[in-house]
Amino acid sequence: MNMPQKLACVFLTVVTFAGALSGAELKRPSLRVAPSESRLPTWQPALGEGLAQMMITELARLTNLQILESVALDDLREERTLGESGEIDRSERIKRGHWKSAEYTFKTTITRFGVEHSSSGGSSPIQIRLPFGGGGGVQVHNHKCEVQIDWRIVDNTTGTIVKSGRGSGTESGKAVSIAGFGGGGWSSSREFADSGLGKATMKAVASIVFELEEWTPPLHSGRDELDVKKHAGELSAVQTKRDMERKIKAEVILVDGSNVWVAVGSAQSFAVGDRLTVYRKTEKKNKTGKVVVVDFEAVGSLELVKVQPEKSCGRLVQAAQVEEGWIATLDGIDPSTLP
């Protein structure tokens, strides 16, 4: 592939990429869901993983985002390990290096997860104790349950928060004992789902999903910007190299009527349609015969109509008498500045 063709390919890549960013059919940005966190007393990491699983299930239904698995990665690795161990047919093995990277991370923080109960003195808020696999937790019936989730979407390349919000849900009903629901299993437990706390959690999650469903993601992420800069840099480098190669004095090697052949071609990045100015070269010598000054007089212009690797044919676009041995340069380039 010659230099003009390479340049065209790079330029087409940049144009296509830019078109993809600005067109109506935008690609869905990829997003991973991080386990939820909280500063509430007795918070358990397993509870955060369970909420993350709920968010993955609900967000995966959206058409404006591409959700990547982030909780069950060990399970995916296990499938790949089976192939690497030889237990799976070679043609069906899953190879490393094909997972997609997320452009954004969805981060949630539980800022409220509890109930209000009645006492002789009135209502007062309490937090549900969340021991896992232990001797059980509190079990409260027929009270007001409240869940509040702060969330944000972070650009993984730049660390910029592109969107944030808060989802909340309240529900009257029994609050379930969370103890015993290890891992993420509590989130799919019928007991939890039917409890006031479970219903409040689903309301909070639903409010977040509803807001994101109406959200129009940025046209491009920080990763896209890096790709654009990379392609632009490649294009600039190719263009600079092309410009340098084209700064050359081309000798007129054949005059055939209005067709003029010059000693440059595609190897020097010239292409059909290029305009060149033809110059008559006049040498001025001193008494010893040494050439001291070379003058260049523009005598005509030609447009390349046929380009070969080392020579090109141009058609005169201005009436002029051209002779072999004269030179031509791209329009706008002063031949006296070239070696």
Q: Is the confidence at residue 41, as pLDDT, over 60?
A: yes
Would you state the pLDDT for residue 90? Answer: 72
Most confident of 111-120, 170-179, 312-321: 312-321
Please give the DSSP secondary-structure letter assigned to residue 119.
Answer: E
For residue 21, count other CB atoms closer than 10 A to its CB.
16
Fold (CATH) for 27-218: Rossmann fold (3.40.50)
**144 bridge partner residues:** 116, 172
Domain boundaries, the chain: 27-218, 248-337
* pLDDT digits 0-9 by tens, 222-275: 666 655 556 555 556 666 777 777 888 899 999 988 889 999 998 888 999 999
User: Cα separation of 262 and 275, whole Å?
Assistant: 12
The helix or strand, by DSSP H or E, that contains position 114, with its residue range, turns out to be: strand 104-119
Asked whether 29 and 103 are in contact (CB, 8 A), the reply is yes
* pLDDT digits 0-9 by tens, 51-62: 888 888 899 999
**pTM metric for this prediction:** 0.50
Closest CA to 197 of 122, 106, 117: 117
User: Cα separation of 78 and 169, whole Å?
Assistant: 37
Asked whether 132 and 46 are in contact (CB, 8 A), the reply is yes
Fold (CATH) for 248-337: Thrombin, subunit H (2.40.10)
Report the chain's mean pLDDT, rounded to a whole number. 75
Label residue 305 by pLDDT band (50, 70, 90).
very high
